[in-house]
A and B are shown apart, each in its own frame.
Chain A
């Protein structure tokens, strides 16, 4: 993939950072991805299971087209992409400049372990004497000071925690490759000048410091010292105060005149302490009292050295910056801690619970009480710990805890004993997503999870049984106390610990809740042009929302790069050309890394054994491939002709992906004809702890032979590619459709925007403002103008799609415009933005009295001033009308916020108005919670109801109002409201025509919304590549959320539009038509929808760009007609034979 002009910086390597980086990298921009942690993945690297599947699926974010450019293995293990430069343990310390030309200063933690040479053997951890709490297991287990930050990381490079390390040096001694440079690395360049008139003092200091690896010079007098300082460069001076001739203070003054930045530490005996203090004022860094402990002195020098090392920043240029700093978890141990967290071991946080039941966790997956290891029979989840709590400074809902508590309760039911009781204590169970309510219902009905309404405030421990006691208010006046084995605190999301500093560095603001502030109608834009926000850095978000907002940020970043001179133009350079070897017999050259002799393996014997295969042309050795010299030697060897397959025997194959590509370009051999076999890391076979050289040797030979077999089997067919028509079709002209169209058109590609109505605007026709007070009408007006004036957008009003055929890169779609002949448009991608509308209802007296209106009608009547709130007394509102129960069992997300908006407006018009809201769970996720508080403060009364006991509405003939009666659970009585106005929140239904979805091969879910390929990781894609959706077509969402999906969907589309042709990956499936019996079983098992049957040709077709080479079809096919390139049956059996030999 040729890189495009312009670079983006993504700060934070969690899920949103990875998404944003991959998005930009896939459209071709070079990206620098930094994370202050030593690994990528953020909090997700600790979570094994995500709802609704209760599995992980992170790998689904990896590139699907041009996937050879990136890694194709578990994303939790690591990430590689040829356009992404990953910098871990790195922080951003400064950003200067404007959009298009930022200069960013990065600060990297020193690498104590050289990642190039560490082979992940773990010897260092075995000898490390330091034990600290393991962050990866949320502090539940212990780890050493030298450790693997994520146990499943690849490459498994160890790191040193500089704060915990005592520099004892044990690990340095045992490292077989000398990768740990705890002391030596860089210290040789750090020269220290020791000035003392006493020979013994300066000489012993010199000895101590040299032992630690520093360069030391000495001077016997002040004069000599100054002379040395002018001749040589020093990083630090140790200076005695009392010296004959020029004294220390004098030397200090002179030194500071020449080198104001010099670190000077004074040495003094007791008698001259006052002088030392004086010296500090002159600019000395510190003073040491004689006689001093060698360790004190050495640690002081090390501290100065490390600070200087750390401040050595690196500067990079970037056209745009995306902050994906994530959030931190609320720590219940601070403040009042009424839950006894960290006090009672059986009180854990949600994250700790995830680690407890994880296979890689401290308990290896068993569900037992942390205090005594006994099985758990009763668990309680306490919701809203650190959320919805003004006393802990969070007047917002974290939005994720309800769903993760449900998931955890279900996992507990699966992992624990049969009689396990799981109870969730909640205030409102917030399930504001398309599939969330059904997930909750399943937990309740299928799994038997108990949901109890009530906030638990305190946890006590029963001294006798050790059980945890919770007391909570039951309905009415009852107070209930019950005992549990374990309590899980659903801790909320807090602004990331570095949010304030990062916002300062980026010159953007924080909002009232402490998260990074966004502009109206955007989840990604900041006040500062060119700097964008992804994921939960700008507010609490779940995975899907984070992925979407990261997509929105990357789109805006891409627009910035495009608009400031970067753009989709490619960097001038050669595309690597490979020699066609398809007509040659396979000739394999095997290159063995010489450090493979570790473990007493004889490379000669291996070479002889391999040469017995006639396909092996020659076996050569190279010294230490991981070193720069070794690699140069390898390239030199590889340049010698006479072979057409290359097998490298070294360690850590994953580390070579990029290098193999470079090598391929250099020697003009297709990288898919090269492979790396690990001959080192896992192959030290030992008997009784003593390495068994011959067994190890045999194992290595078998693996190399298997590797040779695989290479022989690879068919060097030239890669085919699919041309791309660089234009998009957007169906639907609402806010989502318009935003998507503009997002693509701003990159210079043609967009056809199809709208069935006579004008653009969609729901913003009637929706006038938002709960935040933003002017939705003006926003829509502005979008419409920009669309109308955009030269790249062709508008097709009064039009509908009648048919479409084609695949990613080339669709032919026929549209019909009223009173005109149908036209056929050609486009490379399609974005469906057909939106949705307010659901109708017949419930609660709707239609029988003019006093009963829907939310949409209320909005319209409010705007047209048809209702005068000053003349009415009482308003009743009913939430979830027809929603969150079958058949429309989903939450519409917007109605609760809309209700609050209207309450605040009505109360502003008439403060004496009585407002009663009948609700099931108020879904005021995120910052909307603040308006919930406001509405209560304004005096609205909220009365909960359940589906078993709904409010009843009486409409009397001739009466102007209606009466609503309902059961009030706290009063334990039925109450009646005589309302002048009754507002029904009927929710949202999609308006996605089935015929339209079918025309593009997109799926539709049970509720009529667009079916995502994967609800969390690919929330905008259809299973069919090139077909995307945004806005309400995907599921109910607010304006801001719709804009985010539109931008993210546009970004998904740009991945394809940015290329003239999509090249097929090296490993894809094919059909051998002569063997195919058209049973179509392969079509059913293909998880990517890449297969179809061509009735006319009587053939099964494979879309090479959609096929991900997973091999399901090949294993399903009864005739071996379906094959995966490079993995033919014969070759696979050969490979297995070689290993079993």
Chain B
């Protein structure tokens, strides 16, 4: 089937289109030169290059974007932003996509969203990451017994090298709660 790329024939849910509009806006001037894709250190692991992703966005293939894991693999190195001849804020656009994926609760990003959430939860509690707690929170949220097993060899090696501290999860000082509340407010407003 030939995908229709104009809006009239689109069956994309309006909410998603609306949510993507601000991201689209930041990359409108893209000339498809591919500098971002050539620069991306994670491109090899991505199913679509960043250029491909921007192209999908510009041609209103909103649903296709969220079939790709490309943006969830962005490690915020800013190489593409630094080199883009149009000076587009590409790393920011990637982050926006991550946020949308999180707020939409899309199943294909569940793992990465929960990973981020567990990380931030640990930060909220203690002002830093406690690896043991962070991984525990992550494993619990994934509700899968397979995942901890997968991480066991790595965990063992890290523990042997004393890279992971053996602290028991706790509620922490909760000193950062106000900060996190404010951040959430700001996020909801935008």
Give the contacts of B40-88 with A (CB-CB under 8 A): 43-44, 46-49, 51-52, 55-56, 58-59, 61, 82-87
Residue of B nearest to A479 (CB): B43
Q: A389-B85, A390-B85, A968-B59 are in contact. Are A874 and B6 (CB under 8 A)?
A: yes
Q: CB < 8 Å: which of A390, A914, A976 contacts B86?
A: A390
> Which of the candidate stretches B23-31, B122-130, B175-183 sits at the interface with the other chain?
B23-31
Chain A hits for B43, CB < 8 A: 479
Interface readout for A923-967 with B: 1 if CB under 8 Å, 0 if not?
000000000010011110110100000000000000000000100
Chain A hits for B51, CB < 8 A: 473, 970
Q: Smallest Cβ distance from A50 to chain B, in angstroms? A: 28
Chain A hits for B39, CB < 8 A: 457-458
Chain B hits for A979, CB < 8 A: 6
Q: A391-B84, A457-B83, A479-B44 are in contact. Are A975 and B49 (CB under 8 A)?
A: no
Q: CB < 8 Å: which of B6, B32, B46 contacts A916?
A: B6
Chain A hits for B28, CB < 8 A: 936-939
Indicate whether B34 reaches chain A with its CB closer than 8 angstroms.
yes
Contact present for A978 and B59 (CB under 8 Å): no
Interface residue range, chain B: 35 or more
Q: A454-B34, A457-B35, A477-B49 are in contact. Are A977 and B5 (CB under 8 A)?
A: yes
Contact present for B37 and A936 (CB under 8 Å): no
Contact present for A973 and B84 (CB under 8 Å): no
Interface residue range, chain A: 35 or more
Contact present for A971 and B6 (CB under 8 Å): no
**Which among A473, A874, A968, A977 has the highest number of chain B CB atoms within 10 Å?**
A473
Indicate whether A873 reaches chain B with its CB closer than 8 angstroms.
yes
Residue of A nearest to B4 (CB): A976
Q: CB < 8 Å: which of A471, A916, A971 contacts B56?
A: A971
Q: How far apart sit A1011 and B167, CA to CA, in the bound complex (Å)?
A: 86
Q: CB < 8 Å: which of B6, B33, B47 contacts A427?
A: B33
Q: Smallest Cβ distance from A1016 to chain B, in angstroms? A: 30
Q: How far apart sit A480 and B108, CA to CA, in the bound complex (Å)?
A: 28
Indicate whether B3 reaches chain A with its CB closer than 8 angstroms.
yes
Q: CB < 8 Å: which of A336, A479, A939, A976 contacts B49?
A: A479
Indicate whether A541 reaches chain B with its CB closer than 8 angstroms.
no
Contact present for B2 and A477 (CB under 8 Å): no
Indicate whether A338 reaches chain B with its CB closer than 8 angstroms.
yes
Residue of B nearest to A939 (CB): B28
Contact present for A455 and B29 (CB under 8 Å): no
Indicate whether A55 reaches chain B with its CB closer than 8 angstroms.
no
Contact present for A472 and B34 (CB under 8 Å): yes
Contact present for B5 and A936 (CB under 8 Å): no
Indicate whether A384 reaches chain B with its CB closer than 8 angstroms.
yes
Chain B hits for A873, CB < 8 A: 6-8
Q: Smallest Cβ distance from A868 to chain B, in angstroms? A: 18
Q: A384-B85, A473-B38 are in contact. Are A454 and B61 (CB under 8 A)?
A: no
Q: A477-B52, A970-B55 are in contact. Are A937 and B29 (CB under 8 A)?
A: yes
Indicate whether B9 reaches chain A with its CB closer than 8 angstroms.
yes
Q: A388-B85, A941-B59 are in contact. Are A977 and B38 (CB under 8 A)?
A: no
Chain B hits for A916, CB < 8 A: 5-6
Q: How far apart sit A384 and B83, CA to CA, in the bound complex (Å)?
A: 13
Indicate whether A974 reaches chain B with its CB closer than 8 angstroms.
yes
Q: How far apart sit A86 and B70, CA to CA, in the bound complex (Å)?
A: 63
Indicate whether A476 reaches chain B with its CB closer than 8 angstroms.
yes
Indicate whether A456 reaches chain B with its CB closer than 8 angstroms.
yes
Q: Is the interface of B mostly helix, strand, loop or mixed?
A: loop
Chain B hits for A456, CB < 8 A: 38
Q: How far apart sit A976 and B85, CA to CA, in the bound complex (Å)?
A: 29
Give the contacts of A298-346 with B (CB-CB under 8 A): 336, 338
Q: A473-B51, A970-B32, A970-B51 are in contact. Are A458 and B38 (CB under 8 A)?
A: yes
Q: Smallest Cβ distance from B20 to chain A, in angstroms? A: 13
Q: How far apart sit A970 and B51, CA to CA, in the bound complex (Å)?
A: 8
Q: A458-B39, A978-B6 are in contact. Are A971 and B34 (CB under 8 A)?
A: no
Contact present for A471 and B5 (CB under 8 Å): no
Q: Smallest Cβ distance from B89 to chain A, in angstroms? A: 12
Contact present for A472 and B38 (CB under 8 Å): yes
Chain B hits for A457, CB < 8 A: 35, 38-39, 83
Interface readout for A861-876 with B: 1 if CB under 8 Å, 0 if not?
0000000000001100
Contact present for A455 and B3 (CB under 8 Å): no
Q: How far apart sit A327 and B175, CA to CA, in the bound complex (Å)?
A: 60
Chain B hits for A970, CB < 8 A: 32, 51-52, 55
Q: How far apart sit A388 and B84, CA to CA, in the bound complex (Å)?
A: 11
Q: How far apart sit A814 and B89, CA to CA, in the bound complex (Å)?
A: 66
Contact present for B86 and A933 (CB under 8 Å): yes
Contact present for B34 and A455 (CB under 8 Å): yes
Residue of B nearest to A973 (CB): B3
Q: Smallest Cβ distance from A427 to chain B, in angstroms? A: 5
Contact present for B35 and A971 (CB under 8 Å): no
Q: How far apart sit A338 and B85, CA to CA, in the bound complex (Å)?
A: 12
Chain B hits for A973, CB < 8 A: 2-3
Residue of A nearest to B39 (CB): A457
Q: CB < 8 Å: which of A471, A472, A971, A975 contacts B52?
A: A971
Contact present for A479 and B48 (CB under 8 Å): no
Chain A hits for B86, CB < 8 A: 390, 933
Q: Smallest Cβ distance from B77 to chain A, in angstroms? A: 13
Residue of A nearest to B48 (CB): A477
Q: How far apart sit A1063 and B46, CA to CA, in the bound complex (Å)?
A: 76
Residue of A nearest to B83 (CB): A457
Q: How far apart sit A974 and B28, CA to CA, in the bound complex (Å)?
A: 21
Chain A hits for B5, CB < 8 A: 916, 941, 968, 975-977
Q: How far apart sit A960 and B170, CA to CA, in the bound complex (Å)?
A: 67
Q: Smallest Cβ distance from B36 to chain A, in angstroms? A: 8
Contact present for A455 and B8 (CB under 8 Å): no
Contact present for A914 and B83 (CB under 8 Å): no
Contact present for A455 and B33 (CB under 8 Å): yes
Contact present for B58 and A391 (CB under 8 Å): no
Q: Smallest Cβ distance from B120 to chain A, in angstroms? A: 31
Q: CB < 8 Å: which of B29, B31, B34, B87 contacts A473?
A: B34
Contact present for A971 and B4 (CB under 8 Å): no
Contact present for A968 and B87 (CB under 8 Å): no
Q: How far apart sit A198 and B93, CA to CA, in the bound complex (Å)?
A: 77
Contact present for A336 and B82 (CB under 8 Å): yes
Q: How far apart sit A456 and B38, CA to CA, in the bound complex (Å)?
A: 7
Contact present for A455 and B35 (CB under 8 Å): yes
Chain B hits for A937, CB < 8 A: 28-29
Q: How far apart sit A873 and B35, CA to CA, in the bound complex (Å)?
A: 32
Contact present for B31 and A479 (CB under 8 Å): no
Q: How far apart sit A973 and B4, CA to CA, in the bound complex (Å)?
A: 11
Q: How far apart sit A977 and B56, CA to CA, in the bound complex (Å)?
A: 15
Q: How far apart sit A472 and B38, CA to CA, in the bound complex (Å)?
A: 5
Residue of B nearest to A970 (CB): B55
Q: Smallest Cβ distance from A925 to chain B, in angstroms? A: 15
Chain A hits for B38, CB < 8 A: 454-458, 471-473, 479
Q: How far apart sit A974 and B59, CA to CA, in the bound complex (Å)?
A: 12
Residue of B nearest to A933 (CB): B29
Q: A390-B87, A936-B28, A937-B28 are in contact. Are A978 and B9 (CB under 8 A)?
A: yes
Residue of B nearest to A912 (CB): B7
Chain A hits for B82, CB < 8 A: 336
Residue of B nearest to A426 (CB): B33
Interface readout for B80-105 with A: 1 if CB under 8 Å, 0 if not?
00111111000000000000000000
Chain A hits for B37, CB < 8 A: 473, 479
Contact present for A427 and B83 (CB under 8 Å): no
Q: How far apart sit A873 and B8, CA to CA, in the bound complex (Å)?
A: 8
Interface readout for A505-517 with B: 1 if CB under 8 Å, 0 if not?
0000000000000
Among all A-B residue pairs, the 6 with the closest Cβ atoms: A473-B34, A455-B33, A473-B37, A389-B85, A970-B55, A390-B87
What 4 additional pairs, Cβ within 8 angstroms, besides A384-B85, A477-B47?
A472-B34, A941-B5, A978-B4, A978-B8
24 interchain pairs, CB-CB under 8 A: A384-B85, A389-B85, A390-B85, A391-B83, A454-B33, A454-B34, A454-B38, A455-B34, A473-B34, A873-B6, A914-B7, A916-B6, A933-B29, A936-B29, A937-B29, A939-B28, A942-B32, A944-B32, A968-B55, A970-B32, A971-B56, A971-B61, A976-B5, A978-B6
